[in-house]
Structure 1
Amino acid sequence: MGPESILATGLMAAAFSAIHLLAGTLSVLHRVPRNRWLSFAGGIAVAYIFLHVLPELSAHQTTFAELLGLDPVAAESLVYGIALLGLAVFYGVERMAKTSRERSRMRGEGDRLENGPLWIHVASFSVINLLIGYLLLHREETGAWSLGLYFVAMALHFLTSDFGMRQDHPQAYDRTGRWIIAAAVFGGWLLGVFVELHEVAIGLVFAFVAGGVVLNVLKEELPEERKSRFLPFFGGTALYAVLVIAERTIA
């Protein structure tokens, strides 16, 4: 990788970190019903899943078949199984957080996470941020357009996930959690600068991240209490779809 690529992706990693550190200052995002910009961001993240994540999983399926000597059906089961594992792991973390908040309310301690589930929640997001930072430099699709679309989708995904994390445990998140999560995404980029995993390992990492992103996007947009806005959500999906089609047409 050239110095220009390292510089560009380093700036993107720094921007990802800044989103976590500064998103809490954007008071306009913390309205209920849900702010239209958060629904717009969620729409882009959903479009990213269908137009980039799923096709890229298919590309990794081919890599698994070639490098591991698997037949196409086994390779397909492996890559989508890892994505399903990522979704299941993050679903389990979210259920644990919800149960913890319910226990706190029953004890009259307010709508807060207990210490153990709180730090498991932060650790889980740190892991996915580390992997997203790493994939800035090591993705199946290459090129400036692809990198730019990845950056936009992940930046907006971070914005919506940060909003959800801050609602779950505002004081602990602002005091400590956001710093850990911000450091994780930049640390993932640093890891990518110095360490290049085998193609199979990168495929496994991407599939696991894909499952986590799918779960996090859906949990932020679908629950009734979020009161998502349809038109901004649809606008985000349509805009991102147009950009992806333009990228592939020009290429």
Structure 2
Amino acid sequence: MLSSGPLRSETALTIAAAIALAAVHLLAGRLGVGGRIPRSRWLSIAGGVSVAYVFVHLLPEVREAAATLAEHGPATGVAEHHGYLIALLGFVVFYGLEQLARLTTDDRRREDETTGARLFWVHVGSFAAYNGIVGYLLWDRELGSLFLFSVAMALHFLVTDDGLRTHHGATYHRRGRWVLSAAVIAGFGAGYVLEETELLLAVFVPFLAGGIVLNVIKEELPSDRESRFWAFAGGAAGYAVLLLFV
């Protein structure tokens, strides 16, 4: 059994990770890497790191999540695929949100302020839930090193922050970034209260995996972003090696 000393130290590190992740959205606008054309190589590297974490660490966990969901659900022919279906759901949900968010930037549709505000809160609220999942998963030691998870998610938050600033501009800076930062802390608190809730983890991990893949790819692929392929590939390869051998 672990002594109270190591447990306190581990809890302190987890708290520090939650605070650091919450701070990313508050400080990202001051780093000077967002909103550039061509795209900042640092954002492409961050995207590569995020995707590497999904493929090396999260996707293997999706298989475990599928097994957990099969144990808790009805025995059907598709039960063993439930985890992968949730990952697909995460991908599709955030693709839909991206399409919805474009309504706030296309052809001056912001003239309808009520509609614009509604779309803003739907978009930011969805990412708040996403950030809450990340905060919750800080307690999940099955994901491996807390440090490596936190670094990957911090870099991923830089990518999502840039996308949200592009869509919502000053409104995001005034309100949205505070909501997303608070969501990390809220998810972290929920993870402390509901620690070891196996079924929730089995839902959150695949959903996050699908969401990360979509949110990174949608920022890297558009030709008008002039993204940096070699920076993306280097970030993905470098972090994959780190995850495999550390």
TM-score, normalized by the shorter chain, greater than 0.5: yes
Report the equivalent of 1:158: 157
Report the equivalent of 2:81: 77
Report the equivalent of 1:121: 123
CA 1:239–1:208 in 2, change beyond 3 Å: closer, same or farther? same
Q: Tell me, in whole angstroms, the C-alpha distance in 2 between the residues paired with 1:107 and 1:191.
A: 37
The amino acid across from 1:38 in the alignment is L
Aligned: 1:14 with 2:13 = no
2:41 to 36, 45, 51: 36
Report if aligned partners of 1:97, 1:117 keep a CA contact under 8 Å in 2. yes
Q: Tell me, in whole angstroms, the C-alpha distance in 2 between the residues paired with 1:108 and 1:62.
A: 45
Report if aligned partners of 2:25, 2:180 keep a CA contact under 8 Å in 1. yes
Report if aligned partners of 1:6, 1:193 keep a CA contact under 8 Å in 2. no
- Considering only aligned residues, what root-mean-square deviation do their CA atoms show, in Å? 2.1
* Secondary structure of residue in 1 paired with 2:192: helix
Report if aligned partners of 1:64, 1:75 keep a CA contact under 8 Å in 2. yes
Report the equivalent of 1:86: 90
Deviation at 1:64, TM superposition (A): 2.9
Deviates more, 1:60-69 or 1:19-28: 60-69
Long gaps (5+) in structure 2: none
CA 1:93–1:201 in 2, change beyond 3 Å: closer, same or farther? same
TM-score (norm. length: structure 2): 0.89
Q: Tell me, in whole angstroms, the C-alpha distance in 2 between the residues paired with 1:26 and 1:99.
A: 28
TM-score (norm. length: structure 1): 0.88
Deviation at 1:131, TM superposition (A): 0.7
Report if aligned partners of 1:43, 1:235 keep a CA contact under 8 Å in 2. yes
Report the equivalent of 1:134: 136
Long gaps (5+) in structure 1: none
Q: Tell me, in whole angstroms, the C-alpha distance in 2 between the residues paired with 1:138 and 1:70.
A: 27
Report if aligned partners of 1:100, 1:114 keep a CA contact under 8 Å in 2. yes
CA 1:28–1:75 in 2, change beyond 3 Å: closer, same or farther? same
Q: How many residues align?
A: 239
